[in-house]
Amino acid sequence: MHVMRKVVKEFEAVPFCLTKIYDSVQSLQVADSPREKLIVILGATSTGKSSLALEIAQRFGTEIISADSMAVYRNFNVGTAKPSPADLKRVPHHLIDILDAEEKFSVGEFVRRARPIISELNLRGKIPIVAGGTGLYIQALIEGYELGAGKSLISHYKRTGELIYDACIFGLTTERNELYDRINRRTVEMFANGLVDEVQNLLTSGVKPNAQAMLGIGYKETVEYLTGNASLDEAISKVSQATRNFAKRQLTWYRRMKYIQWLKI
């Protein structure tokens, strides 16, 4: 029997060009707008969002707001691909290393913390950069989600057709096979860069295996290895597979955000 395979359509994207990105940001800078200004860089994991954010931030003298649900946790560095200490010195970052492992973080908390930072940077004449892969966080922020009667979410964007920020929203994408290759390479690099030691140190310091942050991809699989429930090769394979599945969910989420300018890396 012939089995039909579901073909996932790639995003319509233009070739990545840093000069054109700079031109777009420059145009936003000089635009006369009643709304606060914002740059957003999103995309699936392993597409280079952090590197691009650093490039733009240095070029335009601005700051980065992390939209990553795992980067908020202190001492969770290798498995979250958190910016290096050198990168954090180069460009100020916000919403990184703000919570302990047991604390919970939500979309509402992200929006509550991000909005005043955006306002403060705009008042200083800077266009902040929101960079990360947690699509719900970014969508709720730029579309202006609010709690309505009966605790239902109301979207300013769906109600008015306008985002609450005057924004350049860039999405980084690549062909699916290339994305999965990048994910597999990054997983191997994380283990080579000390993920096992990082998780062991967290456990030794008293972080429980069922702590909120330990449930993140890379951490729970490493705990399985350290407790003898998986070999190292099995743990690496599980992390790669879980990350690929996460990337699929990210891409599915982004399809509902029709205002993204997709750039093919």
pLDDT, one tens digit per residue, over 6-28 is 444 678 899 999 999 999 999 99
What are 38-69's pLDDT values in tens digits?
A: 999 999 999 999 999 999 999 999 999 999 99
The 3-state secondary structure of 66-87, one letter per residue: ECCCCCCECCCCCCCCCCCHHH
pLDDT at 187 over 50: yes
The whole-number average pLDDT for the span 236-263 is 96
pLDDT of res. 9: 62
pLDDT of res. 4: 37
Could you give the strand order of the β-sheet that contains 93-94, starting from the edge strand earlier in sequence? 14-15, 261-264, 166-173, 37-43, 129-131, 64-66, 93-94
Q: What is the mean pLDDT of the chain?
A: 93
Contact between residue 107 and residue 72 where contact means Cβ atoms under 8 Å apart: no
Contact between residue 24 and residue 167 where contact means Cβ atoms under 8 Å apart: no
The whole-number average pLDDT for the span 244-261 is 95
Contact between residue 226 and residue 200 where contact means Cβ atoms under 8 Å apart: yes
pLDDT of res. 154: 85
Cα–Cα distance, 135 to 178 (Å, whole number): 21
Cα–Cα distance, 227 to 223 (Å, whole number): 6
| 26's tokens | 């420059």
The whole-number average pLDDT for the span 164-178 is 96
Contact between residue 171 and residue 254 where contact means Cβ atoms under 8 Å apart: yes
| 187's tokens | 């997983």
Cα–Cα distance, 62 to 80 (Å, whole number): 23
Contact between residue 262 and residue 171 where contact means Cβ atoms under 8 Å apart: yes
The whole-number average pLDDT for the span 124-137 is 96
pLDDT at 2 over 60: no
Q: What is the pTM of this model?
A: 0.92
The whole-number average pLDDT for the span 227-234 is 96
Q: How confident is the model at residue 236 (pLDDT cuts 50, 70, 90)?
A: very high
